[in-house]
Structure 1
Amino acid sequence: MNEQQQCSTESPYLFSYLPGELIPAILVRLPVRSLLRFKSVCKSWHSLISDPKFGKSHYDLAAAPTHRCLTKGNESEIESIDVDAASLHNSESCVVNLKLPLPPPRMEYRSYGLDPFIDVEFVGSCRGFVLVAYPLGDVFVWNPSTGEQRRIADDHDGMIDMCSIGFGYDRSTDDYLLVLMQVIHLNFYDTYPDQVANDHTIIRIFSMKTNSWFDQEGTYAQYVDMGCAYLKIAAFLNDALHWLVTSYETKLHVIIAFHLVQRNLSEIPLPQVLVTRLENNFLYYLRVIGECLSLCYPGNTDSTAEIWMMKDYKVQTSWTKLFIFSTCNIPRDVIHPICFTKHGELFCSYGSGGLMIVDDKGWQLLDESTKWPEPHMMFGEERECILPCGLYRESLLSLPNDFQQANENDQLMISLVETNEDDK
């Protein structure tokens, strides 16, 4: 009995009348969570859905991609929330509990009073993968949908804790890259300005395909960080990672973009009206919202939160103030925009990680169980809280080389179409 006959025999009412060539065309347009369940229907479906080629086709052709937000759950679990379902019903069906990839036990965590689970940070996402970072430099690339994970090789010389960090995809090589950018530290710049005159920006890259680090040559521009942990996390858009920094040469705040395909740095000007505000330490940070590069200000007791969106990429005049919101009644008086839902609402975190929805009717808090722990003391000081929510798109994509060795050893991962043709 071939695989197609076996599949039809196991579930006759579903598949008896479906031509074999239609099954992949139907499955490739279904949600990820449904496909993960369908892997247990029969061997042919398991092989098809597990095939990396199917995962890429599904990512490109998915009729309605699902975006989810990671936030604190209970004990050692993370909650993954469907941002669109949460905005409508706030029902338990939109929340999935996941197990985080945890770092190996270290005495240093206990010595420094750290809890790896509480101190975890989601510092980037791309094509369904999330970059998970721990405070002592343990870093994982993780697909929350499939559970696939890979620990970044730890020969980075401790740079992760001291650098701006970004995670993105190089489509020219089908590779996922972790980028560390070491700029001039603000405190060192303020204290010893003459000693940094010859320093230049250092960029180091980790390739998931080769599982190795390499230095990017030819980067001589000088930039100074802005002294805020929010700004060390890059925004990935249009094949480039973006950070908000200060130009050492002009002394002006600027967005720099590191293009992952061309491997070069360029500058993107800020809206002119914000230059003065940034000089007065108004801490805007970068996000990608609505497929546009956006500057977000979280607000405080004396001002409102706002979002500036660059509607035409790299066109300074296209910066538009899109959103203004009073935070005077919000816990801790700050909100961090995460994304727009498909219903046009703004999905945000507030305070230290609670979730809320903002629309033209006002705002509402979501399930309080998603509340992230308050910032706590580390090394005698309150630890600055990185945005504790990780937004990602569900996908079946696999990391480079994950299946290549298995495919060389056997031919289990073949598509259903190929199987049907062999049967004929």
Structure 2
Amino acid sequence: MSDNIPFDVQMEIIKKVSDVKSLIRFRSVSKQWMSFIDSPEFIACFGVRHTQPQSLLLRYKDNVDEVKYVSFVDGENQYQQDFGPNVPLFVKQLYNSKVIGSSYGLWCLHGFNSSGAEEMLVIWIPSIRISVGIVVPFVSSFCKMTNFGFGVCPSTYDPTIVMMSNSYGFLERKDTYKWQVEIFTLSSKTWKMIPSSNLPCGSFRFGVTTQVAIDKFIYWFSHDRIVGNDGASEIKNFILSFDLITHQFKEINLPSSLANELSQNFSISKLRESLVVSAYTNEVNHGRVYGVWMMEEEGGVMTSFKKLFNIKTPDDSPVSKVLGFTMSGEPIMETETDHKEVATVKVYKPCSEHIKDLGINGEDGSFFIFPYTETLLLVDHSDRCIISNDS
């Protein structure tokens, strides 16, 4: 760009560029351009302009345990394969990996490095070839379970990881846990212990479903076993939320039809900017049905869960879980097949009750789908950089 053009005019022109790859090339033009593009203000502005995802990105393991990525553009009555992302070697070499969650165009995966010696988390931008590894800190050998959460704080645009570990207390009941909570932010590059006193109780556990990040909250499906005075116990299901700004946990109650349900097919997902809970329940005159509920809010406070519809599938292909939704709001499901441990992906149309089979089969429980969104977060990091406690 000509030196005769004032710098502020140059920056106004750059603000109109909508392609991430072009902006990455522009960073090499000058230090001034790099500083401007890497600034939190420009990254935030770019994120606001690109809230609408271009497509959906699906990750799964095929029948020979190979991880695959497929991107889809969903049009009217059709779902066309668009492309597969350029997966960096760092992500490919992550051993025994699984997706923790996705937020603002970033994915967070958990696994072990190629040698299997270090437990790691990897933050990855599917839209560009940048990935950052974070070594998981050592947790006491008394730890019985570790659960992670991932989200980008909307006020600082700082990628954040929550790690919750529990262990049996020496002088406590055997079904009671001591929770330890640590927070990692990419800006600080360190793990910080935070109080866990505002967790709902000491004996709850997380469900197997993937977490969901919406706005400033991370949500998990959780459950607890409540023992009455008569010694009888019952299941209590609820949603646990974590505020990325205040670092506070909160328990969200579910409708009575879901709160005491023993179903193994619970799932939580995101419909536009709302939390969705899906599960099998028993209904009068209908028997066992798979329903979809959406959390309603007023003034940023949860008010209730609204029943949206039931998903009707053939008896030979029951729903395992709802993975997510198309741009038009149709649920994308993982359903069972006749073959053990093999599932397939289908789209359900509530209005017509029609089911579209996408023709993708893979290992059950391995499917993860999320909107593909371009972002400039991580653009100032080198690909494959590793952050550890010794760094």
Q: TM-score range by the shorter chain?
A: 0.7 to 0.9
Deviation string, structure 1 residues 328-367 (Cα, Å, up to 9, x no partner)? 3564x2243233323332233334553322112301111x
- Partner of 1:273 in structure 2? 257
Amino acid at match of 2:190: S
* Counterparts of 1:288 and 1:319, CA distance in 2: 14
User: How big is the shift at 1:297?
Assistant: 1.6
Deviation string, structure 1 residues 62-96 (Cα, Å, up to 9, x no partner)? 374324223248896632413435x654334x122
* Counterparts of 1:299 and 1:247, CA distance in 2: 18
* 1:18-57 pair list within 5 angstroms: 23-27=13-17, 30=18, 32=19, 35-36=20-21, 51-53=37-39, 54-57=42-45
User: Which one has a larger percent helix, Structure 1 or Structure 2?
Assistant: 1
- Partner of 1:11 in structure 2? none
- Partner of 2:314 in structure 1? 328
Q: 2:330 aligns with which of 339, 345, 358?
A: 345
Is this contact kept in 1: 2:265–2:320, CA < 8 A? no
- Partner of 2:56 in structure 1? 68
User: How big is the shift at 1:242?
Assistant: 1.9
Whether 2:225 is the aligned partner of 1:244: answer: no
User: How big is the shift at 1:400?
Assistant: 8.5
Query: So what's the TM-score if we normalise by structure 2?
Result: 0.72
User: How big is the shift at 1:39?
Assistant: 6.0
User: How big is the shift at 1:227?
Assistant: 6.8
Is this contact kept in 2: 1:165–1:180, CA < 8 A? yes
* Counterparts of 2:61 and 2:158, CA distance in 1: 31
Amino acid at match of 1:140: V
User: How big is the shift at 1:103?
Assistant: 6.6
Is this contact kept in 1: 2:212–2:269, CA < 8 A? yes
* Counterparts of 1:134 and 1:161, CA distance in 2: 17
Is this contact kept in 2: 1:179–1:204, CA < 8 A? yes
* Counterparts of 2:59 and 2:139, CA distance in 1: 29
Q: Residues 395 and 248 (structure 1 numbering): CA distance in 2 closer, same or farther, change over 3 Å?
A: same
Amino acid at match of 1:124: G
* Counterparts of 1:161 and 1:211, CA distance in 2: 26
SS at match of 2:135: coil
Is this contact kept in 2: 1:68–1:392, CA < 8 A? yes
* Structure showing greater Rg: 1
User: How big is the shift at 1:169?
Assistant: 2.0
Which runs of 5 or more residues in structure 2 are unaligned? 228-233, 337-341, 383-391
- Partner of 2:385 in structure 1? none
SS at match of 1:151: strand
Amino acid at match of 1:130: W
User: How big is the shift at 1:176?
Assistant: 1.4
Identity %: 16
* 1:94-133 pair list within 5 angstroms: 94-102=82-90, 116=95, 119-133=96-110
Whether 2:159 is the aligned partner of 1:147: answer: no
* Counterparts of 2:225 and 2:281, CA distance in 1: 28
* Counterparts of 1:245 and 1:193, CA distance in 2: 22
User: How big is the shift at 1:206?
Assistant: 1.8
Whether 2:195 is the aligned partner of 1:210: answer: no
* 1:197-236 pair list within 5 angstroms: 197=176, 199-219=177-197, 221=199, 222-226=201-205, 228-230=207-209, 233-236=210-213
SS at match of 1:98: coil
For the aligned residue pairs, the C-alpha RMSD in angstroms reads: 4.1
* Counterparts of 1:77 and 1:104, CA distance in 2: 8
User: Which one has a larger percent strand, Structure 1 or Structure 2?
Assistant: 2
* Counterparts of 1:234 and 1:63, CA distance in 2: 20
User: How big is the shift at 1:100?
Assistant: 4.7
Whether 2:68 is the aligned partner of 1:78: answer: yes
Is this contact kept in 2: 1:241–1:259, CA < 8 A? yes
* Counterparts of 2:43 and 2:184, CA distance in 1: 23
Amino acid at match of 1:229: V
User: How big is the shift at 1:20?
Assistant: 5.8
- Partner of 2:274 in structure 1? 292
Q: Residues 181 and 170 (structure 1 numbering): CA distance in 2 closer, same or farther, change over 3 Å?
A: same
* Counterparts of 1:179 and 1:318, CA distance in 2: 26
* Counterparts of 2:29 and 2:330, CA distance in 1: 40
Q: Residues 218 and 132 (structure 1 numbering): CA distance in 2 closer, same or farther, change over 3 Å?
A: closer
Query: So what's the TM-score if we normalise by structure 1?
Result: 0.67
Q: 1:394 aligns with which of 367, 373, 390?
A: 373
Q: 1:308 aligns with which of 293, 300, 315?
A: 293
How many residues in Structure 1 have an aligned counterpart in Structure 2? 347
Which runs of 5 or more residues in structure 1 are unaligned? 6-18, 106-114, 376-384, 404-424
* Counterparts of 1:125 and 1:42, CA distance in 2: 26
Q: Residues 48 and 311 (structure 1 numbering): CA distance in 2 closer, same or farther, change over 3 Å?
A: same
SS at match of 1:294: strand
* Counterparts of 1:342 and 1:64, CA distance in 2: 9
* Counterparts of 1:281 and 1:345, CA distance in 2: 23
Whether 2:304 is the aligned partner of 1:318: answer: yes
Q: Residues 174 and 400 (structure 1 numbering): CA distance in 2 closer, same or farther, change over 3 Å?
A: farther
Amino acid at match of 1:354: T
Amino acid at match of 1:128: G
- Partner of 1:12 in structure 2? none
- Partner of 1:177 in structure 2? 160
